[in-house]
Amino acid sequence: MPVGAVIGELLPSAIGVAISPIPIIAVILILLSRRARANSVGFLIGWILGIVVVTAVFWAISGAADLGSSTGPSTAASWISLVLGILLLLLGVAQWRKRPKAGEVGALPTWMASIEDFNAIKSAGLAFVLSAANPKNLLMFVAAGTALGASGVSTGTGIVALIIFTVLAASSVLLPVLGYLFASEKVKPWLDDLREWLQQNNAAVMSILFLVLGVSQLGKGIGGLF
């Protein structure tokens, strides 16, 4: 399978990780804190490591399980896509039910209140956990790793695809950090407004995201089985 086709398979999952509001809100809070520069770089490194490590693990597992070849995904890979699609749809419904009612203010996780006191190492650890241990992201990493393993591509092509996937998936954290590092005075004014919008619309954004990705995975699974 050409590298372009592999990237096309990975693109929905990369977008799903990229537009997840919680890590974006976390990096915005870090950029508004006292140790913005060091902590934001630490957060970015941890976020990237989480994406690479978990996706690579599922790529290795799916490759060892022989989920595909150069001719296409196996029946097992199609069943995995089908199950992932169902799980994502269920998550989408759950997130939609959690959205704030009219007039309510969206709630943030309580741990975000302590971000102000973090150092670079704690920021990197937080990012790694948000990336690697978040069940919502795990589903997307499973989908990406399975797609790589089922594609039948060479190791070199797979690494190129993984790098591109990582850059796309990390872009929503990467861009604010780079923007702050190189043009902090221009970036600061809109950070708080963006944080408030994401806080209020977190559940709605994630529900739509999961529904779209769920339908995509269901389509891949059904297409491979029938």
Residues near 123 by beta carbon (within 8 Å), at least 6 away in sequence: 30, 39, 40, 42, 43, 46, 115
Residues near 63 by beta carbon (within 8 Å), at least 6 away in sequence: 148, 149
Residue-level pLDDT at 108: 64
Place of tokens 């009219």: 102
CA dist 101 and 6 (Å) reads 40
What tokens does 109 get?
């996780």
CA dist 100 and 97 (Å) reads 9
CA dist 106 and 139 (Å) reads 24
Return the domain boundaries, the chain. 3-225
CA dist 88 and 82 (Å) reads 10
Amino acid symbol at 15: I
Residues near 215 by beta carbon (within 8 Å), at least 6 away in sequence: 85, 89
CA dist 181 and 96 (Å) reads 35
Residue-level pLDDT at 106: 63
What is the mean pLDDT of each successive set of 10 residues along the chain, which is 226 residues long?
A: 80 89 88 90 96 94 67 68 85 81 67 84 94 86 88 87 95 93 81 76 76 80 74
Q: Report the predicted TM-score, pTM, of the whole model to 2 decimal places.
A: 0.79
With beta carbons less than 8 A apart as the criterion, state whether 47 and 170 touch: yes
Residue-level pLDDT at 68: 56
With beta carbons less than 8 A apart as the criterion, state whether 36 and 30 touch: yes
CA dist 23 and 195 (Å) reads 11
Q: Which of 19, 2, 16 is nearest to 175 (CA)?
A: 19
Residue-level pLDDT at 47: 96
